[in-house]
C-alpha cells in the first residue's frame, strides 16, 4: 500500500483530506494479513488471491472507505463513490471491481459496510457494532471462498440471526428512502474539505444526499424509472434507454405515480405485473430474486417510520417468474414503488449468480 506523491498526495491539499487518505491506506495494511493464500497449490500467495477474487478487491476498497470517517469525520469525501451505487448504476453488480484500476462503485459500497454496522449489528451490540466488518474479514481469512458468502455466514450467526438474502432487500429499501430513520448518526463534515465547502451538520443521510445532489428528502434517494400514469392507461417496458437486465447483486427501482394531469375525483386501482425471464429454473425459493411493492401515502415519504417492504410471491411458468399484484386506491397514493433485488443463483458466490431479464406492465383500472 502506498500514497503517490503529486497524485494521491498533493501538498496543496488540506491536511484533513490527507488524514482520511492515510486512514484508507492504513486500513488496507491492517486487512491484508486477513487475505488467505487460496490459489491452487499455494502459488502466488496473497497476491494471487487478490488478483483472482473480484469481490475481495471490492470489499477491500469498500471497507477502507468505510474506515475513513471513523478516523477523521470532518472530511466527508468518503461519500464520493455513492452515485454509481445508488443513482446511476444500482442495477449493475454491487461487488464489481476490476483488477488494475479503480471502480467508483467499490468505493461507494462503503454504504453496505455502514448498513451492516448501523442497521444490523447495532441492534445487538450498540457499543461495538463495527466489529461485524472485522467478523466478515475474519471469516474470509479462516474459510476462503468469496466475500459475499462470508457476509452471509456472519449474518447467520445467532447474534444477528439473519442472512444475506434477507438483508439485501432491506438494504435496497433503506437506500430507496435515504431520509429520516435510515442513516441517523449525526455528522459535521465538509463534502469538499479542500475548498471548505458543503458543510453538512445533521444526519449522515443528509451528507449522502448532499453528495448525490438529491437534497430533497421527499424524492427517492436512488435512481428510479419513474412512470406517470393516467386513468385507463397502460404501459409496459423496459423501453428506450432503460436497462434490460438486473445484474447479480443489482437492484432495480420503479415508481408509478399519477400524472400531473390526473383528473380530480377519479378513483382507480393499479395493476402490476413484473416478469423475470428464465428465473423459474431456480427451484429453491430462497435463491430467487425478491420483488417488493410499497404503497406510499401522500406526505409520508420523508416521515419515519416508512412503509415496509411488501414482498410479492411469484407465479411460475415453464421458464419465468411472474409477480402480480393490484394496489387499490391508486388515486389516493403519492406513489407506488417497486424494488427488484437480484441475488438469483444457486448460491451466493459470484460465479453462480446471473443477470436477469425483466419486463413490467402497469394498468390503471376503475375500482
Q: 1 lies in a domain? A: no
Q: 8 lies in a domain? A: no
Verify that 58 and 102 share a domain, yes or no: yes
Q: 126 lies in a domain? A: yes
Which of the listed residues 212, 238, 254 is the one where a domain comes to its end? 212
Verify that 34 and 158 share a domain, yes or no: yes
Output the nine-digit C-alpha cell for 280: 423459474
Query: pTM of the predicted model, to two decimals?
Result: 0.92
Verify that 172 and 307 share a domain, yes or no: no
Q: How many domains in the chain?
A: 2
Verify that 175 and 275 share a domain, yes or no: no
Verify that 59 and 200 share a domain, yes or no: yes
Q: Please give the residue range of the domain that contains residue 126.
A: 15-212
How does pLDDT run along the chain (367 residues), one tens digit per residue? 555 554 455 555 555 667 788 889 899 899 988 888 767 666 666 777 777 678 889 999 999 999 999 988 888 889 989 999 999 999 999 988 766 555 678 999 999 999 999 999 999 889 999 999 999 999 999 998 889 999 999 999 999 999 999 999 999 999 999 999 999 999 999 876 666 567 889 999 999 999 899 999 999 999 999 999 999 999 999 999 999 999 989 999 999 999 999 999 999 999 999 999 988 777 778 888 999 999 999 999 999 999 999 999 999 888 899 999 999 999 999 999 999 999 876 555 655 667 899 999 999 999 9
Verify that 23 and 165 share a domain, yes or no: yes
Angle at which helices 54-71 and 131-143 cross, to 10°: 150
Which of the listed residues 212, 242, 271 is the one where a domain comes to its end? 212
- C-alpha closest to that of 237 among 87, 90, 362, 325: 362
- Answer whether 253's CB lies under 8 Å from 339's CB: yes
Q: 3 lies in a domain? A: no
CA–CA separation, 56 and 59 (whole Å):
5
Verify that 197 and 330 share a domain, yes or no: no
Verify that 282 and 143 share a domain, yes or no: no
Verify that 205 and 288 share a domain, yes or no: no
Q: What DSSP character marks residue 116?
A: I
CA–CA separation, 126 and 310 (whole Å):
28
Amino acid at each position: 500500500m502506498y500514497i503517490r506523491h503529486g497524485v494521491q498526495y498533493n501538498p496543496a491539499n488540506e491536511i484533513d483530506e490527507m488524514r482520511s487518505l492515510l486512514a484508507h491506506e492504513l486500513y488496507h495494511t491492517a486487512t491484508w494479513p486477513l487475505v488467505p493464500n487460496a490459489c491452487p497449490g499455494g502459488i502466488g500467495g496473497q497476491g494471487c488471491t487478490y488478483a483472482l477474487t473480484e469481490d475481495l478487491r471490492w470489499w477491500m476498497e469498500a471497507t477502507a472507505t468505510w474506515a475513513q470517517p471513523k478516523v477523521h469525520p470532518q472530511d466527508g469525501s468518503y461519500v464520493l463513490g455513492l452515485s454509481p451505487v445508488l443513482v446511476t448504476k444500482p442495477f449493475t453488480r454491487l461487488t464489481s471491481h476490476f483488477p488494475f484500476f479503480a471502480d467508483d462503485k467499490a468505493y461507494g459500497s462503503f454504504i453496505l459496510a455502514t448498513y451492516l454496522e448501523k442497521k444490523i449489528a447495532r441492534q445487538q451490540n450498540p457499543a461495538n457494532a463495527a466489529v461485524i466488518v472485522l467478523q466478515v474479514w475474519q471469516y474470509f481469512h479462516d474459510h476462503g471462498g468469496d466475500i459475499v458468502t462470508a457476509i452471509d455466514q456472519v449474518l447467520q450467526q445467532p447474534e444477528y440471526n439473519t442472512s444475506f438474502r434477507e438483508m439485501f432487500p432491506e438494504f435496497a429499501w433503506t437506500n430507496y428512502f435515504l431520509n429520516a430513520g435510515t442513516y441517523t448518526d449525526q455528522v459535521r463534515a465538509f463534502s469538499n474539505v479542500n475548498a471548505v465547502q458543503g458543510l453538512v451538520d445533521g444526519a449522515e443521510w443528509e451528507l449522502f444526499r448532499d453528495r448525490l445532489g438529491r437534497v430533497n428528502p421527499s424524492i427517492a434517494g436512488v435512481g428510479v424509472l419513474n412512470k406517470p400514469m393516467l386513468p385507463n392507461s397502460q404501459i409496459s417496458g423496459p423501453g428506450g434507454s432503460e436497462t434490460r437486465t438486473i445484474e447479480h447483486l443489482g437492484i432495480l427501482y420503479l415508481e408509478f405515480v399519477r400524472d400531473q394531469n390526473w383528473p380530480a375525483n377519479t378513483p382507480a386501482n393499479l395493476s402490476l405485473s413484473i416478469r423475470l425471464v428464465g428465473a423459474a429454473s431456480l427451484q429453491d425459493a430462497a435463491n430467487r430474486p425478491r420483488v417488493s411493492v410499497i404503497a406510499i401515502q401522500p406526505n409520508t415519504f420523508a416521515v419515519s417510520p416508512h412503509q415496509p417492504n411488501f414482498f410479492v410471491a411469484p407465479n411460475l411458468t415453464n421458464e419465468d417468474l411472474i409477480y402480480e399484484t393490484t394496489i387499490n386506491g391508486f388515486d389516493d397514493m403519492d406513489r407506488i414503488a417497486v424494488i427488484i433485488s437480484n441475488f438469483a443463483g444457486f448460491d451466493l458466490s459470484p460465479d453462480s449468480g446471473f443477470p436477469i431479464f425483466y419486463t413490467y406492465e402497469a394498468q390503471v383500472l376503475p375500482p
